[in-house]
Amino acid sequence: MFRFLFHYGIHFIVPLFIAYFFFKEQRLKAALILLAGIILDIDHILATPIFDDMRCSINFHPLHSYWAIGVYVLLTALKTTRIWGIAFLLHMLADVVDCLFIGSDFN
């Protein structure tokens, strides 16, 4: 249960806090983009099975690879793509936390 709450809390609650506190001039736009970061999970359709709760997504799926994460970091450098970069890195954070729970007593 902890794993579910942490993972989906980072996906859906943390973006709202970030938009509210750090993007005051464009809260709604920022919130929608940050929430849209979940779109990265589209690459799960390339895996068999599509969902495996005991599989770590990081460096398994193409949009979750270390190379992709490097691109997401670069997106934060430009003002025009910064929110998208944060959205994608936040998605990676949620998946890293999920990976840490795999095999733990809190799973």
Residue 107 lies in a domain: no
Secondary structure of residue 50 in the 3-state scheme: coil
Torsion on CA atoms 92, 98, 100, 101, rounded to nearest 10: 170
Our count of domains for the chain comes to: 1
Residue 35 lies in a domain: yes
Residue 106 lies in a domain: no
At 3, is the pLDDT very low, low, confident or very high (cuts 50, 70, 90)? confident
DSSP letters along 75-102, please? HTTSTTTHHHHHHHHHHHHHHHHHHHHT
Q: How far is CA 5 from CA 36, 54, 62, 84, in A?
A: 19, 16, 25, 23
- Could you tell me the residue range of the domain that residue 81 belongs to? 2-101
Model confidence over 8-55: pLDDT tens digits? 999 999 999 999 999 999 999 999 999 999 999 999 999 999 989 899
Alpha carbon of residue 78 to chain centroid: 19
Q: Which residue has the tokens 């949009």?
A: 63
Model confidence over 64-92: pLDDT tens digits? 999 999 999 999 999 999 999 999 999 99
